[in-house]
A and B are shown apart, each in its own frame.
Chain A
Amino acid sequence: MDISLAPEIITEIAGLQITNAVLSAMIVVLIILLLAVLLGSRLNIQNPSKRQVLTEMVIGGFYNMSRDILGNTKAQRYFSFIFTFFVFILFANWWGLLPFVPSTGIIHAESHTESSSAQDDHGETTDNKCLSSQTCVYNFNEGEVEDHEHITHLFRAPTTDVSMTLALAVISVLFTNLFAVREKGFLGFIKNYFHSWNPITILVGLIEVVSELGKLISFSFRLFGNIFAGEVLLLVLTSLTFGIATLPFLGLEIFIGFIQAFVFMMLTMVFMSISTQTQSH
């Protein structure tokens, strides 16, 4: 069982490579759609069912929080966009904790010459081979996988893929700026960065633009690092101790998954409220 930074490619459809993170993301979206259809059916104002009351409590709680931060009209416009981040990231993080996700895969034989020629620099062959095609973090084989075989994992938590978290960060930062254009007009949006036009404020404006890119890196690496480190932690613990001893760490990972989704949503909200602020102080 090896943990690789890059997700493993399962198939290739019409030139696009489908990795296990992409497959898991599609499954997560299907689960969310199913949940939405189930929870949004048979709604009743006078006589709500328990499921409806619970859903309204959760979503209403988040909506009230966004109204505190964004203000009434903007919360009404942008809440669905922001809450989607939360729901998708939450389910994507929790998907990686389900029991069948780390272990389901396809075993196929690996040729000897490829793996041995990449590793023999000391003249001794080690049992832990990291395949030259991907960056391996940890590698040990256990159970049914022989040393000359290689397992391709079928599922993976989507947020352990840097491409996925980077895509989420790009969407968040891009739409924060686009909503600023929508609220304030293009000139007002430029004023976000460049208040006036003397050399000092132009420099400050350029630094502000660079710090937007810094937000990209920060968003993506925070989410990726937390969830990927959690996955590595669980895998290493499972190799060191028996299954039930990882129970408190599974609890920690559930909590961290929730917190990271919540923080992504909160930060998007806060940055959006800063950038779309229309009245002057």
Chain B
Amino acid sequence: MDPEAASLIAKGIAIGIGALGPGIGIGLIGAKAMEAIGRNPEVENKIRTNMILAIVFAESIAIYALVIALIANPA
């Protein structure tokens, strides 16, 4: 297998599998945040701020995978 083909497959696998976990994680965070807002609509601002914070933590893992996918070139 020549290096370019291998690197293309590697990029695909990296971002494909790397986005699974964060996707599920962000979905869970959003679901719990919706539940919390439904229970206590007054503190919606605080809940939303904390939700964005947690979502960004989860998304950084996907970003790590994306960076690997971007830089994996045949040297």
Name A's B-contacting residues (CB within 8 A). 5, 65, 122, 130, 135-137, 218, 221-222, 224-226, 228-229, 232, 259-260, 262-263, 266-267, 270
Contact = CB atoms under 8 A, between A and B. Distances in A.
A67 to B, nearest CB: 14
Given A225-B66, A229-B66, A259-B56, 14 more contacts: A65-B49, A135-B71, A136-B73, A137-B70, A218-B60, A221-B67, A222-B60, A222-B63, A225-B63, A228-B70, A232-B70, A263-B56, A266-B53, A270-B53
Contacts of B63: 221-222, 225-226, 229
Interface of B: 2, 49, 52-53, 56, 59-60, 63-64, 66-67, 70-71, 73
A137 B53 CA distance: 30
A226 B49 CA distance: 19
Chain A contact residues, majority secondary structure: helix
Contacts of B71: 5, 135, 137
Chain B contact residues, majority secondary structure: helix
Contact of A221 (B2, B49, B56, B60): B60
Contact of A263 (B2, B53, B66, B70): B53
6 contacts: A5-B71, A65-B49, A130-B73, A221-B64, A225-B60, A263-B53
B59 to A, nearest CB: 8
B67 A135 contact: no
Contacts of A228: 67, 70
Given A135-B71, A232-B70, A225 B52 contact: no
A136 B70 CA distance: 9
Contacts of A263: 52-53, 56
